[in-house]
Structure 1
């Protein structure tokens, strides 16, 4: 015996099935343990850490899309995500000093020229350093400004208790870039 369902019943079943899938897939995120939160707070207090960067996420402009369509990116990369694993990208805090040597894949608005670095490079003491905890999203925001030569940068880090994070860099001469990765704790030098 075969049961035939009317169209409205089939539609209701489909809607219920889709809603249940959405509810299951949008489950609550894992809460950080007290140990993870404490580790992150100590890391930001000491300010000795570096990012192990996995992806660069340039602003996908028309020019970058044209380069991707021409097949000039490596397999798996595209105009909005470039794999950095195995690269020599550096971003680290060592106490009061921050160092960056990051590849740049976006568009430069002006500046630069021959015999200049094409990546984002800076080293020095950040200005206007502000570290805040976002209780609602359970992460820390690290914001600062820094200047290297004629280029100035606004840097925003987001670090989670799982030690995953993002770096957003706005430049006075380039389109914005975002980097995703994980945070590694560096050894704090012993005071003499």
Structure 2
């Protein structure tokens, strides 16, 4: 037997007439849900506004917690030798205790990231003296808001004496950030971490 909406309404009305307190509790519950939704939307908007201000004013720093190199035979050999920290493997490396940053201050960019991968021309694997480093003004720098995915995408290119580096930085309202680095001389690598705003001084 199919229950009609009118029957449901009559039953609920009967409950409310017998127990008025139930109606009050129901009203408070509905109000709480509505307020919770509004608060959540406001919080999300605040996060987006803060992210927009931070990225567009170009004063921020990203500290990476993990590195995700492209899987190569060389990295596999290192992993099999037990040279990575516990919890790390050939394509997922914990950067705990490994100082790093990507800092943007106006037109200037400072990058210091450990590199794990394979060089196409010279060099070795995961050498701390062979990281990704840059200090200066990048050759290109652009920012774009991805409305569909609710995130900012920052792109920049750095041309050094023997290498060209392309950075694609993706930042979310939660301030979680990914850094993808492509090089003319090395295999690609991705970093994952968090962004924070820094002062303009």
For the superposition of Structure 1 and Structure 2, which TM-score range results when normalised by the shorter chain? Answer: 0.7 to 0.9
1:74 maps onto 2:74 in alignment: no
* Partner of residue 143, structure 1: 155
Residue in structure 2 matched with residue 132 of structure 1 by the alignment: 144
Q: 1:111: Cα distance to partner?
A: 4.1
> Which structure would you say has the larger Rg?
2
- CA contact under 8 A between 1:124 and 1:146: conserved in structure 2? no
Deviates more, 1:176-185 or 1:104-113: 104-113
1:83 has 2:94 as partner: yes
Structure 2 residue 118 is the aligned partner of structure 1 residue 104:
no
Does 2:67 align with 1:50?
no
Give the TM-score of the pair, scaled to structure 1: 0.77
8 Å CA contact 1:46–1:188 kept in 2: the answer is no
The equivalent of 1:62 in structure 2 is 73
Q: State the Cα deviation string for residues 60-100 of structure 1 (Å, max 9, x = none).
A: 11221122122121211100111112211121101111111
Question: How many corresponding residue pairs?
Answer: 158
Q: Deviations over 1:139-177 (max 9, x none)?
A: 010001012331110110000011001000101110001
Structure 2 stretches lacking a partner, 5+ long = 1-39
Aligned ranges 1:1-192 → 2 under 5 Å = 33-112=44-123, 117-189=129-201
* Change over 3 Å in CA distance of 1:71–1:111 after alignment to 2: closer
More helix by share: 2
Shift of 1:128: 2.3
* Root mean square deviation, CA, Å: 1.8
**Stretches (4+) displaced over 2 A:** none
TM superposition score normalised by structure 2: 0.74
